[in-house]
């Protein structure tokens, strides 16, 4: 960002914090609208063609407005980071309010994850779609449909999963400096497990994980790089996460049981 743009934003924030003028608020929305587009592009990984990108952007506007209303310029927090969380939350809340997910889907998700885990333990390598479908007693097309539905319903990414189950996330794993000492061993272990899990993924799934989590690209950008459809990228992401979650779950069980 140029120094001129930064100065303009700082001036707008100062004016808005002092006056709460709606015209200034509208200028701030325009200043930061690209954050909505970026977050929507990232979250579209979970929906493929089932939810329009423009709808995600529309939901995200409410998050940006909420972020501007609640942001405190005196706390030293970067607005882009704060707004991204608010926008992501607004989009996810809006999608969940549509209430389109049948209760049986959670069981299907567990069944698929279990099938990946059991087969890869038995085979010693990544299971194919055909092998997973056969284990579940369904067709490959039916498996693909479940994977698509699971992705839309859970909206749980790998970093969310780490935060929920290991009290750390990708930021902690990558940066590590601010982690309290008793967590350092755990972070080292999780880094090793993740590295092994990623390396054992089929090549296309490995590339999706790398581009999404490490390069932080959007679904559209990954689709263009890999030259396959956005729905296919979304499906590859789901399979990668199910494989990796099963490995992390096994490791967590071993750690707790030891």
Are residues 184 and 224 both part of a single domain? yes
Contact of 217 with 44, CB cutoff 8 Å: no
- Domain residues for the domain of 121 are 104-257
Contacts of 214 by beta carbon, 8 Å cutoff, 6+ apart: none
Greater confidence, 178 or 251? Answer: 251
Contacts of 52 by beta carbon, 8 Å cutoff, 6+ apart: none
Contacts of 234 by beta carbon, 8 Å cutoff, 6+ apart: 44, 45, 46, 47, 48, 148, 151, 219
Are residues 68 and 28 both part of a single domain? yes
Are residues 89 and 118 both part of a single domain? no
Are residues 163 and 251 both part of a single domain? yes
Greater confidence, 250 or 177? Answer: 250
Please give the Cα distance from 143 to 146 (Å, whole number). 5
Q: Is the pLDDT of residue 184 over 80?
A: no
Contacts of 95 by beta carbon, 8 Å cutoff, 6+ apart: 47, 51, 59, 152, 155
Last residue of a domain, one of 61, 80, 97: 97
Are residues 93 and 116 both part of a single domain? no
Are residues 165 and 207 both part of a single domain? yes
Are residues 92 and 35 both part of a single domain? yes
Each residue of 150-176: pLDDT tens digit? Answer: 766 555 556 565 555 554 455 555 554
At residue 84 the predicted structure's pLDDT band, cuts being 50, 70 and 90, is very high
Last residue of a domain, one of 97, 119, 154: 97
Are residues 145 and 55 both part of a single domain? no
Are residues 189 and 222 both part of a single domain? yes
Residue carrying the six token digits 């100062």: 14
Are residues 180 and 118 both part of a single domain? yes
Each residue of 7-21: pLDDT tens digit? Answer: 888 899 999 989 999
> DSSP per residue over the chain, as a string?
--HHHHHHHHHHHHHHHHH--HHHHHHHHHHTHHHHHHHHHHHGGGTTTSS-HHHHHHHHHHHHHHHHHH--GGG---HHHHHHHHHHHHHHHHHHHT----THHHHHHHHHHHHHHHHHHHHSSPPPHHHHHHHHTS-HHHHHHHHHHHHHHH---HHHHHHHHHS--HHHHHH-TTS-HHHHHHHHHHHHHHHHHHHTS-HHHHHHHIIIIIS---HHHHHHHHTS-HHHHHHHHHHHHHHHHHHHHHHHHHHHH-
Q: What pLDDT does 208 receive?
A: 93
Last residue of a domain, one of 66, 97, 128: 97
Are residues 140 and 66 both part of a single domain? no
- CATH, residue 129: 1.20.140
Q: What pLDDT does 172 receive?
A: 53
Are residues 250 and 125 both part of a single domain? yes
Please give the Cα distance from 163 to 152 (Å, whole number). 20
Question: For 220, how many CA atoms within 13 A lie in the half-sphere containing its CB?
Answer: 7
Counting the structural domains of the chain, the total is 2
Q: What pLDDT does 205 receive?
A: 94
- CATH, residue 38: 1.10.1740.10
- Total-model pTM: 0.69
Q: Average pLDDT in the 60-67 region?
A: 95
């Amino acid at each position: 960002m140029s120094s001129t743009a930064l100065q303009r934003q700082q001036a707008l924030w100062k004016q808005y914090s002092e006056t709460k003028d709606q015209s200034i608020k509208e200028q701030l929305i325009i200043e930061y609208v690209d954050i909505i587009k970026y977050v929507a592009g990232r979250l579209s990984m979970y929906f493929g063609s089932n939810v329009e990108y423009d709808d995600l952007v529309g939901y995200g506007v409410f998050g940006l407005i909420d972020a501007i209303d609640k942001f405190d310029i005196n706390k030293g927090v970067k607005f882009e980071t704060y707004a991204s969380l608010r926008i992501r939350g607004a989009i996810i809340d809006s999608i969940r309010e549509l209430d389109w997910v049948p209760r049986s889907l959670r069981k299907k998700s567990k069944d698929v994850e279990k099938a990946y885990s059991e087969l890869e333990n038995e085979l010693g390598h990544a299971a194919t779609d055909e092998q997973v479908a056969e284990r579940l007693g369904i067709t490959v097309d039916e498996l693909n449909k479940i994977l698509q539905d699971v992705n839309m319903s859970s909206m749980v990414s790998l970093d969310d999963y780490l935060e929920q189950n290991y009290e750390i996330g990708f930021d902690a794993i990558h940066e590590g400096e601010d982690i309290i000492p008793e967590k350092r061993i755990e972070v080292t272990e999780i880094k090793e497990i993740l590295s092994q899990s990623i390396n054992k993924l089929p090549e296309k799934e490995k590339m999706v994980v790398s581009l999404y989590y490490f390069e932080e690209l959007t679904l559209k950008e990954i689709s263009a790089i890999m030259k396959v459809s956005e729905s296919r990228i979304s499906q590859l992401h789901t399979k990668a996460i199910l494989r990796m979650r099963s490995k992390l779950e096994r490791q967590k069980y071993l750690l707790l049981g030891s």
